[in-house]
Chain A
Amino acid sequence: GQQVMQIPQYQHVQEGEDFTTYCNSSTTLSNIQWYKQRPGGHPVFLIQLVKSGEVKKQKRLTFQFGEAKKNSSLHITATQTTDVGTYFCTYGGSQGNLIFGKGTKLSVKP
């Protein structure tokens, strides 16, 4: 079925380095949502992007939605150990559910 592809699958960074994860779809998306899951935890909503070319910021996190609404990115500036976790992009499926990418697992070395 339709899916979003996330890259990279894993990313290891030194604390203070930047981090970016990318989400790509073969079809146009009406919106995209990003979630974060800490180790041992549950997914937590971060943000929703709706408009073509939209850019939103949350402190050190910057989210972008591509002009064609087929891709999105999450950029973290100057990572901290609290950023550790798996970041998922998702979009609404035809059943009212969310279809999740496989996620990017971020580890941060202090």
Chain B
Amino acid sequence: DAGITQSPRHKVTETGTPVTLRCHQTENHRYMYWYRQDPGHGLRLIHYSYGVKDTDKGEVSDGYSVSRSKTEDFLLTLESATSSQTSVYFCAISGRGGDTQYFGPGTRLTVL
């Protein structure tokens, strides 16, 4: 597997609290992505990055923000978590846009 880690792997939090998920890669890949996976919806893109400090919104970006200050780290922040953000979050990396993507192990987030 590609060198991608996600932290934390599991988190339970309460509605209204801020949450930050971290994705770390050791592959020096330019592109990094955050997806969420929910039953019946497959994987949906939240935000992505095409370089340090270069990010853009995906299909389901409302309620989420991201930052990428270093090539290896891509952070996903829920400013004020809601129950609808309960999901499994996957980070992915690729060398080029649209190219093969390598996924991290995922973070299971529960918002009570």
A-side interface residues toward B, CB under 8 Å?
1, 31, 33, 41-45, 48, 88, 92-93, 95-103
Contact = CB atoms under 8 A, between A and B. Distances in A.
A96 B33 CA distance: 10
Contact of B45 (A43, A45, A97, A101): A97
Interface of B: 31, 33, 40-45, 48, 50, 56, 58-59, 90, 92, 94, 96-106
B43 A43 contact: yes
B46 to A, nearest CB: 10
Contacts of A44: 103
Nearest to B44: A100
Contacts of B92: 43, 98
17 contacts: A1-B59, A31-B98, A42-B105, A43-B101, A44-B103, A45-B100, A45-B101, A48-B100, A93-B45, A93-B98, A95-B56, A96-B48, A96-B96, A97-B98, A98-B45, A98-B101, A102-B41
Given A1-B59, A96-B50, A97-B58, A43 B90 contact: yes
Contacts of B42: 88, 100-103
Given A33-B100, A42-B105, A44-B103, 10 more contacts: A31-B98, A42-B106, A43-B103, A92-B97, A92-B98, A96-B31, A97-B45, A97-B58, A102-B41, A103-B42
B90 A96 contact: no
Contacts of A42: 90, 103-106
